[in-house]
Amino acid sequence: MDKFALLTATAAPLKIANVDTDKIIPARFLKTIKRTGLGKSLFADMRYEADGSEKADFVLNQPKYRHAEILVAGDNFGCGSSREHAPWALLDFGIRCVIAPSFADIFFNNCFKNGILPIVLPEDVVAALMEDAALGTNARLTVDLEAQVVVRPNGDKIPFEVDAFRKHCLLNGLDDIGLTLAHTAAIDAYEANIPAWQPKIHGA
């Protein structure tokens, strides 16, 4: 998992509340277990016409937001089913941070496990960031995870809360597998001392 420390990028405003995981990545695209290739299907039903052509009015189809790495969204983002493909699709598109007044719990947890930082801020603050994001590439936001602040284009710093363990994992690029591998020496030492009569994981 890529480390997350400091991100300065264009933010795309998605002024829609209750965006569920089926809107983020429709069920018909869940046939793969790969984490790559899903970006093109992100928000597919909102992003494309029935013939596959782009809807010009959808935010991520607008030239100034095609390379956005921050998404400023409405309340209850990521509600619906628990599909992990939702953060996979966001990440494959290039989104590393989502800012919203609230998130669905499972989606919120899945973001951290996949290298995306979800930030919860009050509605009035999110509304102000929406206005910043509406300026497109002329107004980039900075997300400083170490300092736990979002810096607006005017220089104002907005503090945010994040769990200390999750912060550690993002700063160091540690997913569940990475956390386990960090204890490789201890695991090897334990396995080397398993009695001969006890079955071993790696065979005889």
Q: What is the pLDDT of residue 79?
A: 97
Give residue-wise pLDDT tens across range 85-123: 999 999 999 999 999 999 999 999 999 999 999 999 999
60 vs 194: which has the higher pLDDT: 60
Tell me, which fold does domain 6-174 have in CATH?
Aconitase; domain 4 (3.20.19)
pLDDT at residue 202 in the model: 56
Q: What pLDDT, in 10s, does the model give residues 138-170? A: 889 999 999 999 999 999 999 999 999 999 999
For the chain, what are the domain ranges?
6-174
pLDDT at residue 185 tops 90 = no
pLDDT of residue 204: 46
**pLDDT category of residue 191 using cuts at 50, 70 and 90:** confident
- Long-range contacts: 29-37, Cβ < 8 Å, 24+? 29/85, 29/89, 30/83, 30/85, 35/88, 35/91, 35/92, 35/114, 36/92, 37/92
